């Protein structure tokens, strides 16, 4: 039986979205990794599976998988894509996404931009998590990165020049550093002004992507903690820009940007290894 999917992206950070709210499609980690392969599968940065919500107040349960088939607790750009899908397919301009990182309210404005409340960042070393006690504002690593969890672990390096570190070289080494027992997403940020930064992110299990929503949120939180930017900041990435606000009143992080459906299609799960 063929399985329908939507191919979507947020600023080039692309996803395969499969709806399993009615029936399951045998999506094992191995099969997801095969489908995410850009040469032999559909190709994507992350694979997104929709399931029936099991928490009061939620509209859908969303599971996020990296391109290697491992599961992630959160994905900001994919969350915006799911919210856009619910709006266009079901008329829900406002929705609540249940994720392993918690409930994420989302809404679509009149211009079609999608905002997601990513919740409050986790700043304690245990919650990132780190392998040992450390000051998350100044990790004991060369380059003095800061760490935070936005539902998944992030470390942000602040560079005087974007060429100071090559994400393709440094990213995989830092992702697997012993300080990060669950691996980590590694951000490379260049502060442009008090209200703007340039960011590239090596994503855990996926590699360098054109944009990373949770990485943008993490970079702004860490930059605010260091007094580098204001609480509302434009984050420019290879695929485009997001607006991120770390609200003072409740500590939640809001992320706003576009979400796009590239095409829809179907695949035969049995054609991929389980």
Beta bridge partners of 22: none
| DSSP summary character for residue 224 | H
Q: Which of 69, 90, 18, 78 is nearest to 265 (CA)?
A: 18
φ/ψ of residue 95, rounded to 5: -145, 165
| DSSP summary character for residue 122 | B
Structure token digits, residue 80: 């915006």
Rounded CA-CA distance 66/213 in Å is: 14
Provide the terminal-to-terminal Cα distance of the chain, rounded to the nearest Å. 15
| DSSP summary character for residue 228 | S
Residues involved in catalysis = 75, 212
Q: How many CA atoms lie within 13 A of 73 on its CB side?
A: 19
The answer to whether the bond into 109 is cis (omega within 30° of 0) is no
Radius of gyration of the chain (CA): 18
Angle value at C-alpha 170, between 167 and 172, nearest 5 degrees: 95
User: Known binder of ligand: residue 89?
Assistant: no
Beta bridge partners of 8: 15, 261
User: Known binder of ligand: residue 77?
Assistant: yes
- C-alpha distances out from residue 166 to 162, 172, 173, 208, Å: 8, 11, 11, 11
Residues 171 and 204 sit within 8 Å (Cβ to Cβ): no
User: Known binder of ligand: residue 222?
Assistant: no
Binding residues for substrate: 13, 46, 66, 76-77, 152, 185, 203-204, 213-214
């Amino acid at each position: 039986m063929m399985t329908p999917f939507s191919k979507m992206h947020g600023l080039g950070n692309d996803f395969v979205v499969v709806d399993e709210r009615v029936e399951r499609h045998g999506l094992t980690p191995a099969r997801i990794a095969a489908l995410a392969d850009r040469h032999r599968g559909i190709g994507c940065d992350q694979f997104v599976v929709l399931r029936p919500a099991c928490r009061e107040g939620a509209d859908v349960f969303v599971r996020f998988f990296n391109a290697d088939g491992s599961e992630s607790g959160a994905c900001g750009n994919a969350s915006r894509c799911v919210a856009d899908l619910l709006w266009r397919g079901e008329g829900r301009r406002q929705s609540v996404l249940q994720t392993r990182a918690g409930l994420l309210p989302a809404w679509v404005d009149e211009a079609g931009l999608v905002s997601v409340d990513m919740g409050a960042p986790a700043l304690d070393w245990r919650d990132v998590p780190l392998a040992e006690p450390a000051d998350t504002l100044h990790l004991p690593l060369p380059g003095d990165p800061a760490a935070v969890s936005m539902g998944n672990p992030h470390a942000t390096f602040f560079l005087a020049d974007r060429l100071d570190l090559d994400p393709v070289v440094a990213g995989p080494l830092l992702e697997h550093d012993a300080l990060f027992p669950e691996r980590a997403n590694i951000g490379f940020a260049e502060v442009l002004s008090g209200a703007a930064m340039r960011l590239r992110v090596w994503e855990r299990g996926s590699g360098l992507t054109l944009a990373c929503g949770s990485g943008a949120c993490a970079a702004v939180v860490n930059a605010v903690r260091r007094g580098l930017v204001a609480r509302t900041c434009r984050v420019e990435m290879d695929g485009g820009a997001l607006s991120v606000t770390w609200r003072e009143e409740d500590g939640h992080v809001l992320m706003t940007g576009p979400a796009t459906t590239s095409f829809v299609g179907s695949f035969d799960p049995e054609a991929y290894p389980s």
